[in-house]
Chain A
């Protein structure tokens, strides 16, 4: 049988979400390595017109579930349709991928639990490889496995990537962090099949009612759109430190305030500002990390930034391993000085050059 990689393609209000194209890009590579096909499933109402873009994005087959009750994402109806689709295949898909969005993280665990299969959360890399299981503690799994999904995710705080495998059962499932996979380039000469998915919902599937969805600007921190992000971490020492961070951010055009998880966990700033594995993935032109140690969870959210400047007291902080420029010093002295120089009416560079010349 041909191996199938199935991608859950998210759409909101008829718009394909970036994560769907990123998953298609990643899924295409996996399907090609397996010599298999890439299919995707999209759920919603009045979404038939999305099929060409999904095929252009790399899908060989697009499964469309179109139904009024699927207009807005809800766990149970979406769960029902996906379970029905997955059980309708003659052979279970080899790999199923969802995004680590609020939707994917809500839905994927339920599907995996239903099929008693493995699910790796929040992957940053995917690959295909072989694996030999030699752990005699679990004799039922001994043996060599080919064509395993290598689901790779950051783990254990500082510096490790873990390769998680579950080749014992199909589908092998993973959720993928938005913003880390390269979306495929749309190719509208590609051809593919479009198949309608029958929707059979039961009354119990409809028990949860969405009353209102607010994608309010006030609530939304434009982290993913900002060109400059000034982020504060636990090194600020107190919530008041964010006053300084905001002041520095306000010096820049198209800027936003970010933060590390520890500062969010400490309650210094709302979660919407969090950059990193459990926050947002960002790719600004300039990222200023202030008092952020640079734990792997934070790093995976921002290390694709064009230019990273770190300010930290500890010259051994991991952030300096991947920052392009690093000021070693007390941020409570450095940032006010930075603000002063950025706001000064004349460029300080010139003054500095004069002083240098005088010294010579």
Chain B
């Protein structure tokens, strides 16, 4: 089994540092982290390796610091990694991102399964996985929460409105992994040691982690970044504050706060009798 896993470094939104006064993210200052949704994709990819053998390649697109999440993936057991880093990728929307990743996947070679996180916490679109599948002309299984592979077929359970669905589909395929699937296990001792070696030995690092540009992967720069993006953020506005008329209960013993509340609102009307 040859599995690829697509991961992304995102700003840590729980950290207040790195948020501009207008609420946008100052990516230079923001703390960075592995997109939480990608942890499920990583787990799914590593599961294929443990269960069926083969290799796992982690692919990311981003500025050089994104190397951190590739090390993290390697510490978890990923075999090799590719960092696509190029200034001409700035301001890519999902279509341009999927195009660049499509070229990176072709550069990486043949695959059986490509795992993607369901979405990222900075973009929230859930579009890149299906757009990549369209470019690759392969079927996709989105919202996947469980799967097994047998005889060149993947059998998977996916989440749909109000329930689940079981499907089978031939390989190769793109799978976007739901956050109801198996959680990422601990880093392995071997993986952690391997990262230490890579950080010390540049020669070895280059063998395991390829850092590539658009030229290396043969992607048309006109179809990447701002130029290749059919959508732009034309304006942002602060969300209007509804009401702002919150009735506050504070500064009293808890018992009295709750009594005050239940005096104002007939909470008991909704309770079971």
Contact = CB atoms under 8 A, between A and B. Distances in A.
A269 B214 CA distance: 41
Contact of B139 (A109, A208, A347): A208
Nearest to A255: B270
Contacts of A144: none
A105 B270 CA distance: 36
Contacts of A270: 180
B246 A324 contact: yes
A75 to B, nearest CB: 6
A118 interface: yes
A213 B254 contact: no
Interface stretch (B47-55, B61-69, B223-231): B223-231
A1 interface: no
For the residues of A in contact with B, the DSSP-based class is mixed
A98 B188 CA distance: 43
Contacts of B196: none
Contact of A164 (B141, B142, B232): B232
Contact of B180 (A140, A207, A216, A271): A271
B107 to A, nearest CB: 19
Nearest to B169: A208
B199 interface: no
Contacts of B256: 352
Interface string A194-230: 0000000000000111111111100110000001100
Interface in B86-142: 93-95, 98, 119, 123-131, 133-135, 139-142
B268 A347 contact: yes
Given A102-B159, A166-B232, A285-B270, A315 B250 contact: yes
A161 B236 contact: yes
Contacts of B263: 349, 352
A309 B265 contact: yes
A328 B260 CA distance: 13
B241 A321 contact: yes
Contact of A110 (B134, B166, B169, B179): B134
B90 to A, nearest CB: 9
Classify chain B: how many residues form its interface, as a range: 35 or more
A184 interface: no
A207 B138 CA distance: 10
Interface residues of A, number: 108
A119 B231 contact: yes
Contacts of A234: 14
Contact of A227 (B93, B126, B270): B270
B19 interface: yes
A252 to B, nearest CB: 5
Given A109-B127, A113-B131, A164-B232, A159 B159 contact: no
Contact of A209 (B129, B169, B255, B257): B169
Nearest to B135: A113
Contacts of B166: 210-213
Nearest to B233: A162
Contacts of B227: 138, 140
Nearest to B263: A349
Interface of A: 12, 74-76, 79, 101-103, 105-110, 112-114, 116-122, 131, 133, 135, 137-138, 140, 150, 154-166, 168-169, 207-216, 219-220, 227-228, 234, 250-253, 255, 262, 264-265, 267, 270-272, 277-278, 285-286, 295-297, 299, 303, 307, 309-310, 315, 320-330, 333-334, 337-338, 341-343, 347-349, 352
Given A329-B257, A337-B257, 19 more contacts: A76-B139, A109-B129, A110-B140, A119-B127, A138-B227, A155-B236, A160-B23, A164-B232, A207-B170, A214-B163, A271-B179, A297-B124, A315-B248, A325-B261, A325-B264, A328-B248, A333-B254, A334-B254, A348-B259
16 contacts: A76-B139, A109-B128, A110-B130, A118-B93, A121-B126, A159-B239, A160-B22, A215-B160, A215-B162, A216-B163, A253-B270, A278-B124, A295-B13, A326-B248, A347-B268, A352-B263
